[in-house]
Amino acid sequence: DAGITQSPRHKVTETGTPVTLRCHQTENHRYMYWYRQDPGHGLRLIHYSYGVKDTDKGEVSDGYSVSRSKTEDFLLTLESATSSQTSVYFCAIADGTGVHIQYFGAGTRLSVL
């Protein structure tokens, strides 16, 4: 998975609790992304980062926040998890060159009960 580690890989939590997902890369790529995958929707962009402390919102950012204090780590936080946030979350990285292929991590399966 192109030097990308997502943790945890699986998590079950209760509605209203905070949850943080971590994406760690060893490729020193500038760009990092968080997507969620739901049946019938493909993948949808939540937030992305174009450098340390530089982040921006994606299509489905409501209820999520992110932080990037180091090049290698991109954290996704659900401040107060809801059942609608049950999903598979994928992190992706890209180096910012002309081709700009995004490489994906293994995913985190999150269930909010």
Partner 1 sequence: ELKVEQNPLFLSMQEGKNYTIYCNYSTTSDRLYWYRQDPGKSLESLFVLLSNGAVKQEGRLMASLDTKARLSTLHITAAVHDLSATYFCAVDGGGADGLTFGKGTHLIIQP
DSSP bridge pairs for 63: none
- Taking the C-alpha atoms of residue 109 and residue 72, their distance in angstroms, rounded to an integer, is 21
Q: For the purposes of burial, counting CB atoms within 10 Å of the CB of 31, is it exposed (0-12), middle (13-18) or buried (19 or more)?
A: middle
Asked if residue 75 binds partner 1 (CB under 8 A), the reply is no
Residue type for 85, please? Q
Asked if residue 42 binds partner 1 (CB under 8 A), the reply is yes
- Helix (H/G/I), strand (E/B), else coil: 51: strand
Asked if residue 53 binds partner 1 (CB under 8 A), the reply is no
Contacting residue, 3, 13, 44, 71, with partner 1 by CB under 8 A: 44
Asked if residue 56 binds partner 1 (CB under 8 A), the reply is yes
User: Considering beta carbons, is residue 15 or 71 the nearer one to partner 1?
Assistant: 71
How many CB atoms are located within 10 Å of the residue 18 CB?
10
Asked if residue 105 binds partner 1 (CB under 8 A), the reply is yes
User: Considering beta carbons, is residue 7 or 80 the nearer one to partner 1?
Assistant: 7
Contacting residue, 90, 93, 108, 110, with partner 1 by CB under 8 A: 90
- Taking the C-alpha atoms of residue 54 and residue 13, their distance in angstroms, rounded to an integer, is 29
Binding region for partner 1 (CB under 8 A): 1, 31, 33, 35, 40-45, 48, 50, 56, 58-59, 90, 94, 96, 98-107
